Amino acid sequence: MTSENFEEISMKDMMSEIENSMKPIHGGDIIKGEVISVSDSEVLVNIGYISDGIIKREEFSNNEVNLKDTLKAGDKIEVYVVKVRDEEGNVVLSKKKADELKVWRDLEESFKTGATIEVKVNEVTKGGVIAYVKGVRCFIPASHVSNSFVKDLNQFVGKDLVVKVIEFDMEKKRVVLSRKEVERKEVENKKEKLWTSLKKGEKRNGVVSRLAKFGAFVDLGGMDGLIHNSDLSWKRVNHPSEVVKEGDKVEVYVIDFDKDKGRISLGLKDIQGDPWNNVARKHKANDILDGTVVRLLDFGAFVEIEPGVEGLVHVTQITDENITKPSQILKVGDRVKVKILEVNAEEKKMALSIKEAENKTTEEIEKYSDKDEGNYLFADLFKDLKF
């Protein structure tokens, strides 16, 4: 064997050894590399293999970029192996395919684990909206854009949404996202946090979310509580719109709550400001007062003598005439004089009489008219009376 043959065999053995010592690569692999040099048309990459890899400009990105402005020698990048050897023995690489495949793998991982991702809505399409995740087109059905009803999908264009992958098919290039699933979870977490922190009698800040005939619903931050009409004000409230409107920020009291039934009872009126607290001191039996008829029932009429304080005039105490219903004599809004028959401040009850107040007034008039100086006294008393 000549020295030349020996050297040739030794070189082949050495190359084979080097090649065998290198980590094998295959088409379709995603590997890491280090940029060796950058030109206007390609990037040379050291991938730890016997041959360096080359990224052509068209395989670098889906967007038009200046390679020299984007990369420099020493940069670490991930690349996709297109071909292990081309005609010149170089490894053909693609960065854009590596980026795309990595996105698909990340989306698949999110789908499997239930992890959320953030996307920007780009456009409205039939049945929903389109968002892109690093170049991958994803679909969000209209029913999954929000946990609430959405009338106009255009309001979401350009907005960033935190979503969950609910369908994934890499072969068909199909990815379906949902914002609704994320919002549902957020609501559940807020509700649980709210339930564990609620205390009876405490004050909470909220926003009036909805009005109903019987009261106002207030969003406490994850769940609605109800302020019944009777707890909106110490005055009689026929409809919550008399006191609040949707969107109002309010401070409320937690009256009671039941987690099992999902109910929270709230109050807007200040418990310490109950006008009945001072009724016993301010009013007593036989007092004659002015009042307003606020409600009529078959058995009597409720008359408000001051804001939040009402008394009942039984139908037999309205007039000496024979009537069967208060509505035969009275209507809501009438101003009347009443006499207090009985006061029970603890039970917040007061018995009143219109006819005795009128009889008392008549007695006073007759008493003064019998006196010698009755003419001018009668006139003075009469001018202050309201019938």
pLDDT tens digits, residue range 213-257?
999 999 998 789 999 998 898 888 889 999 999 999 999 999 999
Q: What's 3-97's CATH class? A: mainly beta
**Cα–Cα distance, 19 to 327 (Å, whole number):** 107
User: Which tokens is 317 given?
Assistant: 């105490």
Low-confidence ranges of the chain (pLDDT < 70): 1-23, 271-272, 360-387
Task: Give me the pLDDT at residue 300, please.
Answer: 93
Cβ count near 240 (within 10 Å):
24
Task: Give me the pLDDT at residue 67, please.
Answer: 87
Task: Give me the pLDDT at residue 139, please.
Answer: 96
Q: Record the pTM.
A: 0.55
Confirm whether 3-97 and 198-273 share one CATH topology.
yes
Task: Give me the pLDDT at residue 361, please.
Answer: 55
Question: C-alpha angle 244/149/142, rounded to 5°?
Answer: 160
User: Which tokens is 387 given?
Assistant: 């019938």
| DSSP, res 44 | E
Q: Let me know: does 44 contact 59? Beta carbons within 8 Å.
A: no
Element (H, E) at 68: helix 67-70
How many CA atoms within 13 Å lie on the side-chain side of 24? Answer: 3
pLDDT tens digits, residue range 73-103?
999 998 989 988 877 778 999 998 888 888 8
- Which residues does 242 contact at the CB level (< 8 Å), separation at least 6? 232, 233
Q: Tell me if residue 319 falls in helix, strand or coil.
A: coil
Matching CATH number, 198-273, of 2.40.50.140, 3.10.129.10, 3.90.550.10, 3.90.1150.10: 2.40.50.140
Task: Give me the pLDDT at residue 379, please.
Answer: 45
Q: Tell me if residue 126 falls in helix, strand or coil.
A: coil
**Cα–Cα distance, 220 to 239 (Å, whole number):** 21
**Cα–Cα distance, 336 to 353 (Å, whole number):** 10
Nearest 10 degrees: Cα torsion 159, 165, 167, 170: 90
Q: Is 269 left (phi over 0), alpha (psi -120 to 50) or beta?
A: beta
Domain ranges of the chain: 3-97, 114-183, 198-273, 280-362
CATH 2.40.50.140 fits 114-183, yes or no: yes
Q: Helix 374-384 to helix 354-369 angle, to the nearest 10 degrees?
A: 150
Question: C-alpha angle 177/95/37, rounded to 5°?
Answer: 155
CATH 2.40.50.140 fits 280-362, yes or no: yes
